[in-house]
Amino acid sequence: MTTPSKPIRVLVVEDSPTCRELMVSVIQSAAGFQVVGTARDGAEAVRLTHRLRPDIIIMDVHMPVMNGYEAVNQIMAEVPRPIIMVTNSLAKNEHHLTFNALEAGALIILEKPALSDPVEKYEWFLSQMKTLAEVKVVRRWSKPAGSNHQSQPLAKTQAARRAAKSEKIRVVAIAASTGGPGALATVLKELPANFPVPVLIVQHVTYGFGQGLADWLGKKTRLQVRLARHGDELQAGEVLIAPDDYHMIVNGLGLVALHKETPYQGLRPAANYLFDSVARVYGATAVGIILTGMGNDGASGLQAMRRAGAHTIAQDRESCVVFGMPAVAIELDAAEEVQPLNCIASALLDWIERQ
């Protein structure tokens, strides 16, 4: 006789009684979940997290006494837990707090369930909770500078080809998912204002939050950050982010192209589309970087980039919020370097300067 698995213990943090009751109802009605507590503000959430030690926390952004960002910051410093930020507002001030919470250690932003939502949306919300409850969160995301790390060996044929060409790097392509906003901020803030290369980013984010991500990252870096537009020319020092629900690629003319081809494992934008196009168009004059995230998007694309002669970097296990995408890339031997998060920007700058 098999022993039934323990339910996922959930703490719901929401100041609106109506929203709180709905979320509790949705979670309690699903098999495998148990709401062990509710909080009306961030301060109460911190106290209950210490006492109840939930498996996962559902956290509102704007609350009295202590907002969601402040609560996440304190929880991740004292008693780390997987945290999902929920919001029903696309207001810029709420985006700022929400992305700050992601940088502090929350895993993802999701829209709050609504009474008018179809059953499928509730099921999707619960599936995200189930997956993220298994994430092993830590107080710190990166190892101290100078920590030991392993690097993948560089194939001799690629090294010889690069040495013969000595071509300058023309584009940097980055992929990220769960934990990505904070990781992207860490990398981009270390790049100088005169960074000589355009940067293209695919970050998996809940629909409707792409513009908020661009605005938030723009405050974290000296580079210009915006959502990509169809037909954009790549400009040195400009960061282009794939917009909601569009794959972003680079065409044969070196221009950004946006399209709605089949999602990759439910993802649109998907990093594999970007990386594959960069491999075709730029070959050895590109750098590919894969950061923290669930799943395997970007791994095969990074492999294509490496085979085309591009320099490729993966974030290491210890500094990842979720060691999924980088792990698969490393298994495929797609990454020449495996670096802690706080070393990736310097590794990128070193490589560009060397070229």
Which phi and psi (to 5°) does residue 282 adopt?
-110, -20
Top-confidence range, 134-148, 149-163, 219-233 = 219-233
Q: Is 16 a residue of the active site?
A: no
Place 94 in a pLDDT band, splitting at 50, 70 and 90.
Answer: low
* pTM of the predicted protein model: 0.88
Yes or no: say if 278 and 286 are a contact pair by the CB < 8 Å rule: yes
Place 144 in a pLDDT band, splitting at 50, 70 and 90.
Answer: very low
Choice among 177, 277, 300, 319 that is catalytic: 177
Q: Is 204 a residue of the active site?
A: yes
Q: Which of 272, 305, 7 is nearest to 172 (CA)?
A: 305
Choice among 297, 300, 316, 319 that is catalytic: 297
pLDDT at 155: 45
| Per-residue pLDDT tens over the stretch 12-56 | 999 999 999 999 999 999 999 999 999 999 999 999 999 999 999
Please report the DSSP string for 8-33 in residue order: EEEEEE-S-HHHHHHHHHHHHTSTTE
Choice among 15, 60, 204, 232 that is catalytic: 204
| Per-residue pLDDT tens over the stretch 168-189 | 999 999 999 999 999 999 999 9
Report how far residue 350's alpha carbon sits from residue 355's, in angstroms, rounded to the nearest whole number.
Answer: 9
Strand-pairing partners, residue 2, are none
Q: Which of 351, 346, 350, 349 is nearest to 142 (CA)?
A: 346
| Per-residue pLDDT tens over the stretch 198-253 | 999 999 998 889 999 999 999 999 999 999 999 999 999 999 999 999 999 999 99
Q: Is 244 a residue of the active site?
A: no
The percentage of residues in the chain with a pLDDT greater than 90, rounded to a whole number, is 81
Domains and CATH numbers, the chain: 8-132 (3.40.50.2300), 156-354 (3.40.50.180)
Place 111 in a pLDDT band, splitting at 50, 70 and 90.
Answer: confident
Give the distance between the most distant pair of CA atoms in the chain.
66
Look at the chain and count its residues: 355
Look up residue 58 and give its two tokens: 């559902």
Strand-pairing partners, residue 111, are 87
Which phi and psi (to 5°) does residue 87 adopt?
-155, 155
Own/partner pairs, 224-229, CB within 8 angstroms, 24+ separation: 225/188, 228/200, 228/256, 228/258, 229/256, 229/258
